[in-house]
Amino acid sequence: MSSLNDPSTLEEGHSPLAPVFFDPSRKRWPRLRLGLTVFGLILSLLLGALILSILVSPMLPALNLPSASIVPHGAHMAPPPPSLSLPHALTRRERALRDTKDKLARERERALRHLLVQPQQPNPAPAHPLTIGFFVNWDDASMSSLKENLGSLDMIIPEWLHLADVDGTLREDDPNRADQTTQYIRARRPDLRIVPLVNNWNGKEWEGDKLGRMLANPTARAHAIAQLVAYVERHEFAGVSIDFENIPAKAHPDFRRFIAELYAVLQPKNLQLSINVPASDPAFDYRALARTADYLILMAYDEHWSTGAPGPIASLPWFAKILRQRQRDVPIQKMIVAIGNYGYDWLKGSHHAEEMTFEEAVLTAQESEGNIRLDPASLNPTFEYADDDDHIHQVWLLDAVTAFNQLVVTRSIQPAGVALWRLGGEDPSLWQVFGRHEPLDARLATRLEEVHFAYGLDYEGRGEILRITAQPHSGQRVIAFDPTRHLITAERFTAFPSPYVITRQGSQDRKVALTFDDGPDPRYTAQILNILRQLDVRATFFIIGVNGELHPDLLRREVEEGHEIGSHTFTHPNIAFISPTQFQLELSATQRLLAGAVGRQTLLFRPPYAVDAEPETLDQVRPIELAGSQGYLTVGMQIDPDDWQRPGVDEIVRRTVEAAERGEGNVILLHDAGGDREQTVEAIPRIIEALRARGFQFVTIAELLGRGRDEVMPPVKPENRWRTGLDWAAFSLINLGAVAIHWLFLIGIVLGIARLLFIGALAVYQRWHKRRLVFDPAYSPSVAVVVPAYNEEKVIAQTIASLLACDHPDRFEIIVVDDGSSDATYRLAADTFAEFPQVRVFTKPNGGKPAALNFGLSRTRAEIVVALDADTVFTRDTITKLIRHFANPRVGAVAGNAKVGNRTNLLTCWQALEYITSQNLDRRAFDRLNCITVVPGAVGAWRRELMEQAGRFTNDTLAEDADLTMAIRKLGYAIVYEDEAVALTEAPDTVRGFIRQRFRWMFGTMQAAWKHADALFRPRHGALGFIAMPNVIIFQVFFPLVSPVMDLLLIGSLATDAFNRWQHPVEYSSDGLWRVLFYYALFVAVDYLAAALAFALERGENKWLLVGLFWQRFFYRQLMYYVAIKSTLASLRGALVGWGKLERKATKKSQNRLKSGPHRRSTGGSSSCSSARKSIRSISMAPTG
């Protein structure tokens, strides 16, 4: 064996070249940084100016609309106080009536004194009484009350189920709303018990006959019970509450049987059963029902009901009497007392009353100047008034005062709890005492003196353009507290409370305005505009700012064609869930966008997810108030065909035309974006034709108000145009970025799919072609294996041993070049293989891998040079499989099949997966195109004369193998791939080591591509310039740089969609999300197919590696993004970048030890090479270290 022992030996070959991207003057990066800083500064100034502009709400000109008739001033004043002395002149009849009332009052008071406990001190609070509220879907105020008073409740009983059929089938009441309510409660009060109520109300009447038939049928009862249990368990509710009313007399035994059967099913499941029963009805067997229920809820109201004679709803003597009676039938621990808080309005002489909420009752008294007083006998409030036709009405109601007195009575018997019928209709002052466990004394009673409207609104005028013309204010009542009986015995309103007063305008006979929400959308808005232009109709478009920013051309077209534009906020949030500041920013941003895009402002606003033209709760009135404070007119809608639900074109047309014919309103709501709007587009011309045929005229919102377009969309003043120009420049930059990201995402997915299909097809073709190749068995060139080594003492012996153990030609040598190692690499290699004449070991001063390879190249005259890294192990036939291709004189180099040998953890397994599915699959495909760009340093063979002709390995790139490969390909020779020439290489098993290696690869690849850029799109270089080089630039450099943004776009889409789904489940449309997910899923599917194909082409590989392909996207590829960014910055900086050194751990599968002495070509080391081959099959996905 010969060796070069002189460490001072210098490199032979070419003089060192300046590295690609190196900037010796060090001026490039400062200049580039300056340019980027200036660009960033300009961008920041534009965006900063836009932000400041949005933060300052634009001044909108006032639109002086005529005021509608509002509540007279006198109605908002206190009613005249009742006289403290009787009038001087009373008729005999009046005196008799007075005496009768006084006598009745004295009798009632005696009964009250007898029935009530007379404690010596104020009533103490019971230990743990339940506070329960009944909830209904059909009144938005019920949700408002729930939100306001959630913390005071222990249980909620929502009316969510109804008996639908005699077979026991149940119907859910608005399941979407029920789900929203459940989510709201559980997010804020997870401990609050939800016990849904089931009844036999059909929306118009109590269906007693249907109920009786169901109860009489054992199968129907079992069916109803099964549904109840399934419903409660599915939603994880605490139980069920039964409220069957108008029960036929003969059905009561069946009703008790049904309750017993239901209780028998619920009790073992620890689910609660409560029964709502009238507090005083002899038809009910209270004792029997109490035995088979957890609670009996006594409905202690309707002493006088809506279909009976006028009178107090729950006089206190009656209330106290029936509770005493029920004490004998119902155990206290099972008794829940339900109190009412509502009113009845009887037309005098009639036995039919309209039910009204507390707020409706007080508003009626307020507007009619009625005098609400506490009837001394019943202690229930009452008043009389005359309607517009001078008909006398008598109103009785229950309020916070009656609740106070009823709680005094209730505490004297201490039931299990008290329930309120119902949330949303009550006197808001009630919550000063209800749900509080304080003594019911004079101090607590005085809290009831302030009266306010918490949920109701008052409307004036007609139309769907809304303005708030009066703010709410509190009212005042004076009460008298009797310290002896601890009751409130008198109340008198001194000032009525006032709700929001909303003025409606825009009502005009046989005129309708078409309005469109959520646009613009290029798919539908453009079609709608074409239809409107053809039919000569002007409409109003309420745009979402982000959509307008993306499609300003449609905004301009809308204005140019005479349409109006209103604001629908910038991002379409649910205003009930955002802060006033965010709402102001939403409006301001949309206003600034319109000013920049079309040179106009807008006074028109429509809140997202608006219910209709008449908001019913404070949540719904809030956007009107906030928008009105900034000068906007809120535009509602009464003709809403729910086109977003896509009910069918005919149905959209029918609903719209019928609503207009019924005179329901003047504003038609349709949608031009936010989902699939094809049905809407098809319905528009039919709606226009049908309404015109019926005599309707189409106008704009401005025309409904009797104004011109310039008044509701005033042009930007000349002195403000410079600012709107700056705003629009910033919006345009944002829009450009958004459009670029969107198209990059789509183009990336499409190109990725096309590339995978293209590569896969070529790889299959390469496999087919290779099987038909015939190699010359007589071809036996001289071969030299050059092994550059730097600090490789852990692996060098194993590598050389694997080479000696492999089949090879007779003329064969191994040249080991120690590149100035600081460890024992040289001495270990020289001593271990001193007796092997094929092995020559040299050492030289450190000069880098290219210099070491060139040094070895200069020490051989072999025809074929095989290069491998010192951490690589060949299998037995690797060398012979490589060199057989050189029998073809057009072959310049052969790339082998590199595999990860140390699959010891997740990171190395992911690298093994990448080698198979990416690198090797690409080489298979590019083999047929003759455009392989890199013969890997781990396993490759070269024709030596071409290496000399191409300039050997140069030191101006970190990817010397890619550099030389491209150079030889440019000489016109073929670069082929040999998948059977397998080499096991040691991959980095730490993130730090992986990043260092991949940075070197990526930076070197960029250097090589830049160095050989002259081949790009040059016909004489064939597929190298038209396929391989663009592939490197696009898929290895560009897309890894922009992929983080694409990933963030996908994450943002998912997050936005999830938020919209959570916030607006009813109106939610997933069309946009499904498009994104479809493309992404298609890409992943094609990626898996290509990976499966790669594994099918790889013999003996472990298919379990494919399990990691999906998860590789969420960590491994992010590391590659970081490497791409780091490499790009390094190339721009122009600094020197070193080769770096990977720490060797000798963890790859190795061959067996060798016998000393000369190696025979065909027999030596067969067992060891077989072992190496088997090691490939034995590696599993699971980490072992």
The H-assigned helical ranges of 535-677 are 545-550, 552-560, 580-598, 618-629, 649-661
- According to the model, what pLDDT value does residue 6 have? 37
Is residue 1136 over pLDDT 60? yes
Is residue 426 over pLDDT 80? yes
Q: Contact at 8 Å (CB) between 680 and 519?
A: no
Beta bridge partners of 698: 512
Residue 82 covered by a domain: no
Structure token digits, residue 612: 């209709």
Strand 697-699 relative to strand 667-671: parallel, antiparallel, unpaired? Answer: unpaired
Lowest model confidence (mean pLDDT) among 59-63, 602-606, 1018-1022, 1157-1161 = 1157-1161
Question: CA–CA separation, 363 vs 443, rounded Å?
Answer: 28
What's phi and psi for 15, nearest 5 deg?
-70, 150
Is residue 85 over pLDDT 80? no
Q: Indicate the residue type of 1112.
A: Q
Lowest model confidence (mean pLDDT) among 144-158, 440-454, 989-1003, 1097-1111 = 1097-1111
Is residue 1166 over pLDDT 50? no
857-904, pLDDT tens digit by residue? 999 999 999 998 888 889 999 999 999 999 999 999 999 999 998 898
- The more confidently predicted of residues 480 and 85 is 480
Is residue 957 over pLDDT 70? yes
Task: Tell me how far apart the 2 most distant CA atoms of the chain are, in Å.
Answer: 145
Strand 417-421 relative to strand 130-136: parallel, antiparallel, unpaired? Answer: parallel
Beta bridge partners of 505: 465
Is residue 137 over pLDDT 90? yes
Consecutive H or E run containing 513: strand 511-517
- According to the model, what pLDDT value does residue 113 have? 55
Q: How many helices (H) and strands (E) does the chain have?
A: 38, 37
Alpha-carbon distances, residue 313 vs 345, 396, 413, 498, 742 (angstroms): 11, 7, 21, 25, 64
- According to the model, what pLDDT value does residue 68 have? 45
**Which pLDDT band, with edges at 50, 70 and 90, does 746 fall under?**
confident
DSSP secondary structure string for all residues of 443-503: HHHGGGGEE--SS-EEEEESSSEEEEEE--B-EEEEEEEETTTTEEEEEEEEE--B-EEEE
- According to the model, what pLDDT value does residue 54 have? 82
177-189, pLDDT tens digit by residue? 999 899 999 999 9
Is residue 855 over pLDDT 50? yes
Q: Contact at 8 Å (CB) between 108 and 401?
A: no
Closest CA to 667 of 515, 503, 508: 515
**Which pLDDT band, with edges at 50, 70 and 90, does 1051 fall under?**
confident
- According to the model, what pLDDT value does residue 1185 have? 29
Residue 288 covered by a domain: yes
Residue matched to tokens 């049905």 = 679
- Where b means 16+ CB within 10 Å and e means fewer, 515-550 reads bbbbbbbeebbbbbbeebeeeebbbbbbbbbbbbbb
Structure token digits, residue 1085: 């599917």
Per the omega criterion (within 30 degrees of 0), is the bond before 615 cis?
A: no
Lowest model confidence (mean pLDDT) among 82-86, 383-387, 851-855 = 82-86
Most confident segment among 623-632, 664-673, 738-747, 1175-1184 = 664-673
Residue 407 covered by a domain: no
- Spacing of C-alpha 747 from chain mean position: 24
Q: Indicate the residue type of 140.
A: D
Mean local confidence (pLDDT), 642-666: 95
Domain enclosing residue 520, as ranges: 506-713
Residue matched to tokens 């928008």 = 627
DSSP symbol at 633: E
Residues in contact with 992: Cβ distance below 8 Å, sequence separation at least 6, in sequence order? none
Closest CA to 873 of 797, 935, 819, 820: 797
Residue matched to tokens 């918490």 = 454
Q: Contact at 8 Å (CB) between 308 and 351?
A: yes
Structure token digits, residue 1089: 């197919």
Question: CA–CA separation, 577 vs 583, rounded Å?
Answer: 10
Query: Between vectors from CA 222 to CA 219 and to CA 224, what angle results, nearest 5°?
Result: 110
Residue 1075 covered by a domain: no
Determine how many CB atoms are found less than 10 A away from the CB of residue 1018: 14
- According to the model, what pLDDT value does residue 89 have? 42
Rg (CA), the chain: 43
Residues in contact with 686: Cβ distance below 8 Å, sequence separation at least 6, in sequence order? 649, 653
Out of 713, 730, 746, a domain closes at: 713
Residue 668 covered by a domain: yes
513-546, pLDDT tens digit by residue? 999 999 999 999 999 999 999 999 999 999 999 9
Alpha-carbon distances, residue 1118 vs 217, 236, 318, 463, 1040 (angstroms): 65, 41, 75, 57, 9
Question: CA–CA separation, 726 vs 730, rounded Å?
Answer: 6
- According to the model, what pLDDT value does residue 1143 have? 55
- Where b means 16+ CB within 10 Å and e means fewer, 381-415 reads bbbebeeeeeeebbbbbbbbbbbbbbbbbbbbbeb
Mean local confidence (pLDDT), 484-513: 93
Residues in contact with 83: Cβ distance below 8 Å, sequence separation at least 6, in sequence order? none
Determine how many CB atoms are found less than 10 A away from the CB of residue 768: 10
- According to the model, what pLDDT value does residue 578 have? 80
Strand 295-299 relative to strand 392-397: parallel, antiparallel, unpaired? Answer: unpaired
- According to the model, what pLDDT value does residue 405 have? 98
Question: CA–CA separation, 431 vs 448, rounded Å?
Answer: 9
Question: CA–CA separation, 1002 vs 1000, rounded Å?
Answer: 6
What's phi and psi for 748, nearest 5 deg?
-60, -45
- Spacing of C-alpha 7 from chain mean position: 66
Q: Contact at 8 Å (CB) between 468 and 621?
A: yes
1064-1091, pLDDT tens digit by residue? 555 555 666 677 778 778 777 877 888 8
- According to the model, what pLDDT value does residue 15 have? 55
- According to the model, what pLDDT value does residue 1081 have? 80
Lowest model confidence (mean pLDDT) among 102-106, 231-235, 774-778 = 102-106
Torsion of CA 1066, 1072, 1074, 1076, to 10 degrees: -150
Per the omega criterion (within 30 degrees of 0), is the bond before 175 cis?
A: no
Out of 252, 273, 298, a domain closes at: 298
Out of 685, 713, 741, a domain closes at: 713
Question: CA–CA separation, 520 vs 561, rounded Å?
Answer: 15
Annotated catalytic sites, by residue?
A: 517, 671
- The rounded percent of the chain whose pLDDT value lies above 90 is 61
CATH number of 541's domain: 3.20.20.370
Beta bridge partners of 899: 984
386-402, pLDDT tens digit by residue? 998 999 999 999 999 99
Structure token digits, residue 473: 């204010």
Question: CA–CA separation, 476 vs 479, rounded Å?
Answer: 10
Mean local confidence (pLDDT), 742-757: 83
Consecutive H or E run containing 384: strand 381-386
Question: CA–CA separation, 403 vs 407, rounded Å?
Answer: 6
- The more confidently predicted of residues 67 and 662 is 662
Mean local confidence (pLDDT), 927-946: 94
Rama region for 85: left / alpha / beta (φ>0; ψ in -120 to 50; rest): beta
Q: Contact at 8 Å (CB) between 370 and 78?
A: no
Is residue 699 over pLDDT 80? yes
Report helix, strand or coil for 116: coil
- According to the model, what pLDDT value does residue 48 have? 84
Is residue 1146 over pLDDT 60? no
Closest CA to 1085 of 1105, 1104, 1050, 1109: 1109
Mean local confidence (pLDDT), 487-505: 93
Rama region for 972: left / alpha / beta (φ>0; ψ in -120 to 50; rest): left
- According to the model, what pLDDT value does residue 359 have? 93
Question: CA–CA separation, 843 vs 997, rounded Å?
Answer: 24
Residue 175 covered by a domain: yes
Mean local confidence (pLDDT), 463-491: 93
CATH number of 189's domain: 3.20.20.80
Is residue 1162 over pLDDT 50? no
Residue 947 covered by a domain: no
Mean of pLDDT over the chain: 86
Alpha-carbon distances, residue 698 vs 73, 143, 174, 1011 (angstroms): 38, 37, 35, 68
Mean local confidence (pLDDT), 544-572: 94
What is the number of domains present in the chain?
2
Residue 1020 covered by a domain: no
- According to the model, what pLDDT value does residue 761 have? 92
Q: What is the pTM of this model?
A: 0.67
- Mind spelling out the 3-state secondary structure of 1003-1063? HHHHHHHHHCHHHCCCHHHCHHHHHHHHHHHHHHHHHHHHHHHHHHHHHHHHHHHHHHHHH
Determine how many CB atoms are found less than 10 A away from the CB of residue 813: 18
**Which pLDDT band, with edges at 50, 70 and 90, does 107 fall under?**
low
- According to the model, what pLDDT value does residue 1178 have? 35
Question: CA–CA separation, 898 vs 916, rounded Å?
Answer: 9
Strand 272-278 relative to strand 381-386: parallel, antiparallel, unpaired? Answer: unpaired
Is residue 340 over pLDDT 90? yes
Lowest model confidence (mean pLDDT) among 89-103, 148-162, 208-222, 825-839 = 89-103
Residue matched to tokens 């009626």 = 364
